[in-house]
Amino acid sequence: MSVSKHQPASMFVDFEREAWRALRAATPLTLDASEVEGLRGLGEHLDLEEVADVYLPLSRLLNLHVAATQSLWTAQQSFLGGFSQKVPFVIGIAGSVAVGKSTTARILQALLSRWPDHPHVELVTTDGFLYPNRVLDERGLMQRKGFPESYDRRALVRFLAELKSGRAEVSAPVYSHLVYDIVPGEFVPIRRPDILILEGLNVLQTGPLEGGKMPHTFLSDFFDFSIYVDAHEQDIRGWYVDRFLHLRQTAFRDERSFFRRFADLTEEQAIARALSVWAEINGPNLAQNIAPTRSRARLILTKGSDHKVRRVRMRKT
């Protein structure tokens, strides 16, 4: 098919929801309603229909990629005449604050772990690789938490490099959303999973390190597949405000919460505060650092205002 000079060729194939749903083929639905309820994030209207229409076809696609990667590994071992430990298939999931990438990661973890060939699926978030608040304070970065420079990207690259080298065990640091900080001395052991899902704001980032130097290695160099969860900014901003209001009634009321001071705000004050945080931090981070990485993903899930995926874009190569 010829392409008009006024309509440049796209790197992606676009699927409306109905067309994407058909690609599920005979993939069985292995989650029930109560499990889906436990996996969805605050304010998301995720149900079994969404899982069947969107995430089952995606799990089938990912399963095909995993199988192909494993076959290639077997062929390489045959060529080399030796043996080395299989390494995990790594999936990166990127997207804005409040867009639902954490729910996407949890749903995919649950679905992929029920495929017979890769039952061990681990999920790690990049929050654990944020610098501790003490360091962010020292560097004047507390108001830029979540921006690329607020992460220990060398530690994150080292984590993935060790994982991909076949090490028997690597450790991921633990982050507490309640206290809004790294938990000192606490780590999660990751022991040779079949699949690792890495979820975070800037996992597709290719910007410079501290000091302006470009890194020799990017996180995405270790990815076998990458997903970007997308939506209009005005919708994401609304979801962020809704989540802030919900947390004001729940987690913020915990005496240990970093945000305890927001629990007693009136609804009007809480909305104003959430919009201020969006305008000063989350919005600029999305525009400057997160959204520009969208085209680097292998697959883009585009949501409508109701949080449901309306379109899927898949890279051709």
Is pLDDT above 80 for 9? Answer: no
Task: Evaluate whether residue 280 is within a structural domain.
Answer: yes
Sheet hosting strand 89-95, strand order edge to edge? 12-16, 309-315, 299-303, 225-230, 89-95, 195-199, 121-125
pLDDT of residue 116: 85
Three-class DSSP category at 185: strand
Q: How confident is the model at residue 2 (pLDDT cuts 50, 70, 90)?
A: very low
Task: Evaluate whether residue 297 is within a structural domain.
Answer: yes
Give the domain range for residue 17: 12-315
Q: How confident is the model at residue 209 (pLDDT cuts 50, 70, 90)?
A: low
Give me the number of domains the chain comprises.
1
Record the pTM: 0.93
Q: Which residue has the tokens 């507390």?
A: 142
Reported as a single tens digit per residue, the pLDDT across 96-149 is 999 999 999 999 999 999 988 878 999 999 999 999 999 999 999 999 999 999
pLDDT of residue 4: 39
Which CATH number do you get for residue 271? Answer: 3.40.50.300
- Residue 223 tokens read as 């990815």
Distance CA(141)–CA(152), nearest Å, equals 13
Q: How confident is the model at residue 211 (pLDDT cuts 50, 70, 90)?
A: low
- Residue 303 tokens read as 């949501």
Task: Evaluate whether residue 268 is within a structural domain.
Answer: yes
Distance CA(89)–CA(267), nearest Å, equals 44
Task: Evaluate whether residue 6 is within a structural domain.
Answer: no
pLDDT of residue 40: 86
Is pLDDT above 90 for 68? Answer: yes
Task: Evaluate whether residue 303 is within a structural domain.
Answer: yes
Task: Evaluate whether residue 117 is within a structural domain.
Answer: yes
Task: Evaluate whether residue 2 is within a structural domain.
Answer: no
Nearest to 146 by CA among 284, 279, 303: 284
Distance CA(54)–CA(128), nearest Å, equals 29
Reported as a single tens digit per residue, the pLDDT across 38-49 is 998 777 778 999
Phi and psi angles of residue 109, each rounded to the nearest 5 degrees, phi first: -60, -45
Task: Evaluate whether residue 3 is within a structural domain.
Answer: no
Is there a contact between 247 and 210 (Cβ–Cβ < 8 Å)? no
Is pLDDT above 90 for 84? Answer: no
